[in-house]
């Protein structure tokens, strides 16, 4: 379970991410797809579905050159919330 401070940090990351997506210079369909992936991450946060949506987000970003650079900070920040695998 996240502490209040950590929850605020995560909420801020998603807020900044959604703002950044709206300002990307990509076509509207790509923007819509990326926004849906972020929604899936938000709703699945703290569960296995977050991990799947995160992988989709990272994959989408790396496959679309126009999105990789602006999305990289978010990929790194959100990776901290992936479950550790041993």
Tens digit of pLDDT for each residue in 54-82? 999 999 988 887 788 889 999 999 999 98
Rounded Cα distance, 30 and 77, in Å: 22
Domain coordinates of the chain in residue numbers?
Answer: 4-79
* DSSP letter (8 states) at residue 83: P
Determine how many CB atoms are found less than 10 A away from the CB of residue 43: 11
Q: What is the pLDDT of residues 16-43, one digit of tens each?
A: 999 999 999 889 999 999 999 999 999 9
Q: What is the pTM of this model?
A: 0.83
CA dihedral 61, 62, 64, 68 (to 10 degrees): 60
Among the listed residues 52, 86, 24, 66, the one whose alpha carbon sits nearest the alpha carbon of residue 78: 52
pLDDT beyond 60 at 86: no
Q: Check residues 23 and 1 and name the one with the higher pLDDT.
A: 23
């Amino acid at each position: 379970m996240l502490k209040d401070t950590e929850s605020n940090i995560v909420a801020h990351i998603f807020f900044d991410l959604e703002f950044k997506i709206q300002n990307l210079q990509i076509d509207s369909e790509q923007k819509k797809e990326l926004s849906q992936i972020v929604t899936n991450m938000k709703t699945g946060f703290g569960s296995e579905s977050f991990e799947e949506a995160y992988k989709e987000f990272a994959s989408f970003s790396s496959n679309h050159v126009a999105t990789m650079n602006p999305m990289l900070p978010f990929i790194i920040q959100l990776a901290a919330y992936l479950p550790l695998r041993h």
